[in-house]
Amino acid sequence: MKRLAWGMLIGIVAIAISSVLAFYVVPLWTGARLPLRSVAGEWVTVHFPAGSPVAEDPLRYIADREEELAALARTVGVARAELPARINLFVHNSEAGLGAILAQRTNPRVTLVFRAAVDVIFGEDTRVPFIQLIGDFAIGENHSRLLRHGIIEYIRAQGRNHHLPVAALPPVLHLRLEEMLALDGRFPLTHYQLFNSPHAAAAIAGLDGLAQLSELQRRVDPDLMNMAVSFVAFLSERFGGPERLIKLWRAGSVAANVQAVYGHSLAELDQAWKERLAAFGPRDEGWAAARGRGLIRVGRLDEALSLLTFAHDDHSAGGALAGEIAREIGWINLLAGEWGEARRQFRQAHAVGVDTSRELRHAELFADWETAEAGSVRIHRAPGLSTDPAPLRELAIAHDGHLQWMRDRMALDATSFPDRAIIFLGAAGEGGIATDLRAGIVAVATPQDVDRSLAELVAFHLWRDQTLSPILRAGLIRYISAPQEDHLARLRNLLRTEAWIPLWLLDFSNFPARYVEPQAASMVAYLLENYDVSKFHTLWQITSPLGGGRSIDIAMAMIYGYTRRGLDEHLRRSWF
C-alpha cells in the first residue's frame, strides 16, 4: 500500500510538472523548432516567424490585440479574471506554418494546456479566435458549429442587417431551427478549434488535414451560414444583447441551453424568428439584390432577371448596391450564353467598385463557345470539342427528352426544380465554371458525361437534403441515367451467378464500383417498378440528415417491410 501511495504521489507530481513545462517551455521549444520569435506583452505573448509583418513592430501588434481582446470581453460581459492570465498567440503567414505547428503537438496533455493559445494566419480577423477563447474559458465548450458561427459573426458585425439576406431567400431554401441543427456538421472547424481542441489530433498530419478543412469551408452553404447569424441576431435583439447570448456557449445541447437562457423552446423561437423575417420586403434597400441572388441559387433565372432588371431601372439603387445588381444580371446573361451582355454588366459593376474580375475571366473564356437551347435544357459547347456533325440544337433536344423522362419517372414537379438545366460541355478543369446542382448548372468534360450528370441533377432535387446512403444514391443515378437497360433482367441473371453480392453486404468500401453500381441500380429499379414512387421519395427523405439520417436498412424496413437481407430472400423465393 505504501508503494502504491508513493507511486500515485510521484505520478501526480509528474503530471503537474509536465503541465507546467507544457505551459511555459513548450511554446519556446516549439518556437525554436520552427523557428518563431517570441515577444511578451502584459497579457499576450506573440510567437511569429522571421520576415513576418508582425516583426516590424511586435509591441504595437500586441497592444492592439490586447485592446481588441479586452473590448470583446467587455462587449459580452466577461471579466478579465475569467480569462487566462497569459495567452499565447501564434501568428504565421500561411497554412504551411499552421501545419508545421500542429504537426509538432502530439502530447494530449499539451493539447489541453494549449487551450490557452490562439492561432491565426496573419491578416485574418483575430476577433474570431478571441471570441471562441472567451466563450470556451468564461462559459464552457459548446460543440455546435452552427451556434459558434452565428455568435462570432454577429459580434463581429453588430451594425449589419443580418436578416435581409435570409428574408429574401426563396421558400425552398428556408429551414426550421431543428433542420438547421441537423446540418450542424456542415459548418467547418476553424483554425482555433483545430489548434485548441481534441480536433488538433486530426490535423497532426499537417497540410492534408488543412486542405480538407479548406475544402469543407468552400462546400458550406452560404445560405445556411446566413440563417445561423440571423437567428443569433434575433436572439440578441429580442432578449438583451450579447451578454446573454454568450451564455449559450456553455456545454450542452442548443435546445437545452436556449430554454435555460431565454425560457423558450426552439419551436417557439423559430416561429418568432420567422415573423421577424416576414417584416422585410421589397421596400428595404438591398432586398431586390438579395432576392435575385437567392433565385439564381435555385435556378429560377427568368424570375430573377425580371426582378433585378426592375430594381436596376428603378434608379433607387446606387453605388455598390447598383454594382451588385449589375453583377447578378451579368451572371444570368452568362448562364444564358449572352456573352457580350454579360461582359457589359460585369464591367459596369466593376466601375462602381464591385470586384467582378472572376466573372470577367469567365465571360472571356466562353466568348467563342457555341450555345443552343431546347425545352428545359441549354447547352454551351467549347469550340472544337466534338467531331459529331449533328447540330448542337439536336443534342439539346435529345438531352431535354431524357431530362423530362427522368423528372416524370421520379415525379418531380416544377416548383422543386430549376427553370432549365444549363450544361457547359467541355468546361471541366482549371478556370472553368463549377457544377452547381441546386442552380441547375452542370459542367462536364465530354459528351459521355452528360447523361450521368443530368441524373445527378435530378437526384439532387428529390429532397431538400441528400440521402446519406451511397448505395441508394449510386443506384438511383445509374438507374435513371440508363433507361435503355433492363435492370430487372440483370437482377434475375445476377441472382443465378456467383457474381451476385448479397444486398446486405453491398458496400463501396468492400467491393469496386463496377460491381456495386449495377446491382444497386437493379435494387432501386425493383423498388421503383413494384411500388409507388412516393415510397421511394420517403426512403430518400428519411435517409437524409433533415429526415433523421436513418440507415438504409432501417428506412426500408419502415417503408417496404423488409431490410436489404429481407429483400434478397424475398427475390430468391419469388423468382426461383
pLDDT of 242-276, one tens digit each? 989 999 998 889 999 999 999 999 999 999 999 99
The pLDDT of residue 571 is 85
- With H, G, I as helix, E, B as strand and everything else as coil, classify residue 120: strand
Task: Please compute the mean of the pLDDT values over residues 382-396 and round it to a whole number.
Answer: 79
Residue 199 CA to residue 59 CA, distance in Å, equals 31
Most confident among 98-102, 168-172, 271-275, 425-429 (mean pLDDT): 271-275
Using pLDDT thresholds of 50, 70 and 90, give the confidence band for residue 383. Answer: confident
Give the separation between CA 137 and CA 115, rounded to whole angstroms.
9
Q: All 3 cell numbers of residue 264?
A: 423558450
Name residue 192's amino acid.
Y
Instruction: Provide long-range contacts, Cβ within 8 A and 24+ apart, for 320-326.
Output: 320/352, 320/353, 320/354, 321/285, 321/286, 321/289, 322/352, 323/348, 323/349, 323/350, 323/351, 323/352, 323/353, 323/354, 324/289, 324/349, 324/354, 325/288, 325/289, 325/292, 326/352, 326/354
Look at residue 523 and tell me whether its pLDDT is greater than 80: yes
Q: Is the peptide bond before 483 cis (omega within 30 degrees of 0)?
A: no
Helix 487-495 crosses helix 564-575 at what angle (to 10 degrees)? 80
Please give the pLDDT value at position 221.
79
Q: How many whole angstroms separate alpha carbon 362 and alpha carbon 356?
A: 10
**Which CATH number is associated with domain 287-367?**
1.25.40
Q: Which of 168-172, 311-315, 481-485, 540-544 has the highest mean pLDDT?
A: 540-544
Residue 497 has pLDDT above 90, yes or no: no
Helix axes 392-409, 470-481, angle to 10 degrees: 130
Q: Looking at 49-164, which runs of residues are DSSP E strands?
A: 87-92, 117-121
**Domain extents for the chain?**
22-277, 287-367, 370-454, 462-576
CB of 444 closer than 8 Å to CB of 450: yes
> Which range, of 369-373, 462-466, 475-479, averages the lowest pLDDT?
462-466
User: In this predicted model, what pLDDT tens digit does every residue of 158-200 receive, in sequence order?
Assistant: 888 999 999 999 988 989 999 999 888 888 777 777 666 666 6
**Cα separation of 235 and 145, whole Å?**
17
C-alpha triplet 186, 190, 196: angle, nearest 5°: 125
DSSP 380: E
SS3 call for 436: strand
Sequence-separated (6 or more) residues with CB below 8 Å from residue 429: 445
What is the reported pLDDT for 205? 56
pLDDT value, residue 49: 82
More confident residue, 121 or 205: 121
Percentage above 90 pLDDT, the chain: 51
Counting residues of the chain whose pLDDT is more than 70, the rounded percentage is: 83
Quote the CA–CA distance of 146 and 451 in Å, as a whole number: 36
pTM of the predicted model, to two decimals? 0.83
pLDDT at 417 over 80: yes
Q: Around 93, how many Cα atoms within 13 Å sit in the side-chain half-sphere?
A: 10
pLDDT at 113 over 50: no
In tens, the pLDDT along 115-139 reads 567 878 788 889 988 998 899 888 9
Q: For residue 15, name the pLDDT band (cuts at 50, 70, 90).
A: very low
Looking at the predicted structure, is the pLDDT value of residue 335 above 90? yes
Length of the chain: 576
What is the reported pLDDT for 26? 39
* More confident call, 511 vs 330: 330
pLDDT tens column, 31-53: 334 577 889 999 999 988 877 88
Is pLDDT of 303 > 50?
yes
Flag the least confident range among 17-31, 486-500, 521-535. Answer: 17-31
Which pLDDT belongs to residue 32?
Answer: 34
Computed over every residue of the chain, the mean pLDDT equals 84
CA angle at 553 for the pair 551 and 556, rounded to the nearest 5°: 105
Q: Which pLDDT score, from 0 to 100, does residue 216 have?
A: 59
Please compute the mean of the pLDDT values over residues 524-550 and round it to a whole number. 95
> Residue 333, CB half-sphere, CA atoms under 13 Å: how many?
21
Burial of residue 465 (number of CB atoms within 10 Å: 0-12, 13-18, 19+): buried
CA distance 58 to 44: 11
Q: Coil, strand or helix: which one is 121?
A: strand
> Is residue 491 pLDDT above 50, yes or no?
yes
